[in-house]
Amino acid sequence: MKRLMLFIVGCLCGVLSRPTYAQTTLLPDSLAQAPDTVRSWTLRQLGDSLIRVGQLNTAKQAFEEAFALSKRINKPNDLGTSYRGLVLVQFNY
């Protein structure tokens, strides 16, 4: 019985300590369950805003995440817009 309790507690600690998708990206927690197209759009908008304020490293991360997401969902327009953002970041370095 003691081993079973230790196992259950260990499993719960492992599950609870694992970060969610939104915590490992630039997206807020409120968009963790949003459709992929919404998350991709948000990341691109965030990247554009970050370029305007000069945070190029973070903008690059946002555009890279948007690009990967657009590739995964196979949306050519979103893919092109994400790629444009990556080019803008490189141009501004």
- Tokens standing for residue 18: 């694992």
Please say whether the beta carbons of 46 and 75 come within 8 A.
Answer: no
If one counts every other C-beta atom within 10 angstroms of the C-beta of residue 13, the result is: 10
Helix (H, G, I), strand (E, B) or coil at 19: coil
Task: Give the domain ranges of the chain.
Answer: 35-93
Q: Does domain 35-93 have CATH number 3.40.50.300?
A: no
Q: Cα separation of 44 and 8, whole Å?
A: 41
- Cα–chain center distance at 30: 12
Q: What is the pLDDT along the chain (93 residues), one digit of tens a residue?
A: 666 555 565 555 444 444 444 346 788 888 888 999 999 999 999 999 999 999 999 999 999 999 999 999 888 888 888 888 888 888 876
Global pTM? 0.69
